[in-house]
């Protein structure tokens, strides 16, 4: 019984299927989590900047359409 358990755990230890996927997930998490933190931290500043850019574009479009 103990020998069978030891053999099973040994086989699981040698099996590296899925190890690459775990590495990819860790890399994505290492990039995404700090980025998400920055976005949350600067949310109000980013929102204000986007609103300003949107208004500037609207003004430019209105000026261009009113010019003959």
Tokens matching residue 16 = 């590296």
Q: What is the 3-state secondary structure (H, E, C) of 13-33?
A: HHCCCCHHHHHHHHHHHHHHH
- On average, the pLDDT of the chain sits at 86
| Rounded average pLDDT over 3-12 | 76
pLDDT of residue 12: 66
Tokens matching residue 24 = 């990819």
Is 0.75 topped by the overall pTM?
no
| Rounded average pLDDT over 47-54 | 97
- The domain of 61 spans 2-66
Structurally, the chain folds into a number of domains equal to 1
């Amino acid at each position: 019984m103990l020998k069978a358990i030891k053999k099973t755990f040994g086989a699981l230890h040698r099996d590296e299927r899925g190890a690459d996927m775990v590495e990819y997930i860790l890399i994505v998490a290492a990039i995404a989590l700090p980025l998400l933190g920055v976005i949350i931290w600067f949310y109000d500043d980013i929102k204000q900047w986007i609103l300003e850019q949107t208004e500037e574009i609207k003004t430019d479009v209105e000026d261009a359409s009113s010019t003959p």
